[in-house]
Amino acid sequence: MADNTARSAAPDWRDRVMTDPDMILEDRDLMRALIAANERQMGKNIVDLRGIAMDRLEARLDRLEDTHRSVIAAAYENLAGTNQIHRCVLKLLEAADLPHLLDLLPGELADIVRVDRVRLVLESPTPGPAPHATVSPVDPGFVDDYITQRRDVPVRRVTLRQCHPASEWVFGEDSAWIRSEALLKIDLGPEKLGAMLAFGAEDPHQFRANQGTELLTFFTQAFERVLRGHLG
């Protein structure tokens, strides 16, 4: 009975393949099975160059597909980052005055950027008690020294790095658990002391030196202009 069923099914399969050969060609597993059967028939002493070429083409196709998926993932990540920064800038523009702006930093803005702490570091000739919980008053020259870690290197607009521990002058008591930081250098204008906006994260991989800084550079420029406007 089984032999009769197999014989009756064979013409049907043959007709289907003849009508639609792509059905087999597009099925990788089926093609591998057919090639393997062909190699067994040829014996071990014959090298099938066509099979080798096909294996190489399949490997190349797999690599291209992996690259394609990586490119798409990176594009989505970049789009999400762009939308994130745009939301931050719009939120900054909503600040009616300086106190409102300072309140936004550790609240809604920190939530949008998904960081654990935000501090506005302002240099002062006579640093005293912080006028706001978000503000960290420091001595003149502190910003450049902290960004460069006192090395003879250019002061970049945006610096991303892992840290352990972070500076207490910047994050206060929270510095003990801050493991990565984004340092945005703020230019308040001629004859003004240095300033810096610092993002701190408990995740040591959130900010790393090999990450791109284009979006944060744009955000820094926008924040700088808003802060200048409120400071007069």
Instruction: Tell me the average pLDDT across 186-208.
Output: 92
**Cα–Cα distance measured from residue 198 to residue 118, given in angstroms and rounded to the nearest whole number:** 6
Q: Which of 29-43, 44-58, 168-182 has the highest mean pLDDT?
A: 168-182
- Whole-angstrom distance, CA of residue 47 vs CA of residue 158: 58
**pLDDT (average), residues 60-79:** 72
The structure tokens listed for 74 are 């990176």
What are the structure tokens assigned to 19, written together? 């009508």
Model-level pTM greater than 0.75? no
